[in-house]
Structure 1
Amino acid sequence: MITVFRDYFKQKTHLLLWIMIAAFVIGLFPLFFKEATQTAVWAVRVNGEDIGYPEFAMEQERQRERIMNFRAHYGEYADWLLSMMGQTDPKTMAANALISQELLNQFADKVGIYMSSDVIAQKMSNPEYIRRELGDSIPAQIIDPITGINTELLQR
């Protein structure tokens, strides 16, 4: 049996076999390089759009702070209230918040809703809007009661 294989590989057909194996291996090289060059690791993927781990970690920390503030405000009833609202796990809350935000962004892009820089500047100079909409994500000392966001403190 072994002599049959030796005779077969000594013939010219083994050259064809080696060419086919080489073509197969060379064809797989782009897949290996594609895997090696993908450094953007995602935590959540929404309709093909990736949300990375750094953004997920920041949102998770925001949710953790939100839970701590809630506990400080409501005391001994906080855990019961949080469990009734289903908001006990900061990881789940962060994933839900990022997914909702990304879905809204995708919808706004699809529909063509864009905000001008004047509208954004007007909203950022309104302290009531900032406290109401961004209060859980911006520290209170950065919000100036007259001008909105204190840019000097924000840049530090």
Structure 2
Amino acid sequence: MSISECSNIGVVCCGVDATIPEVAALMRKYHVGDVIVVENRNGDRVPLGIVTDRDIVIETTALQLDTNVFTAGDIMSTPIITVREGEGFIETLRLMRQHKIRRMPVVTDAGTLYGIVTADDVINLLVMELSLMTGAIVEQPIREGQLRKSP
């Protein structure tokens, strides 16, 4: 399975000049914990960095700094770690683990933003798959009993 099959294509984005309150407002409005900082190149969004809710707290709020004077470009994590949309699910998990990240933008071969995959997405997918397997395990003896005649 390629990672594009389980990535979310509704990515919340901002430019490098977005203020921290603007970024936080986007997170609140769309109920997300990250915003991808992008540059517009010929109508395409190219990811430059990522700002998480944790970045905002640790880099500004916890230090009691005025969030209005900082921009997404000031606190974004960069260089951003991305994965190509055709990459496999397992390889993507390996990259997330290797880089110790829970959110990974998915890009096209041209490097433009396709979507994002998060640890939550991965866990939800795995839970669904395990649930299907559990159902098969539980139902198999019942089916076998129905197919076999009793002596």
With structure 1 as the length reference, what TM-score do the two structures score?
0.24
Structure of greater Rg: 1
Normalized per residue, the structure richer in strand is 2
Between Structure 1 and Structure 2, which shows a larger proportion of helix residues? 1
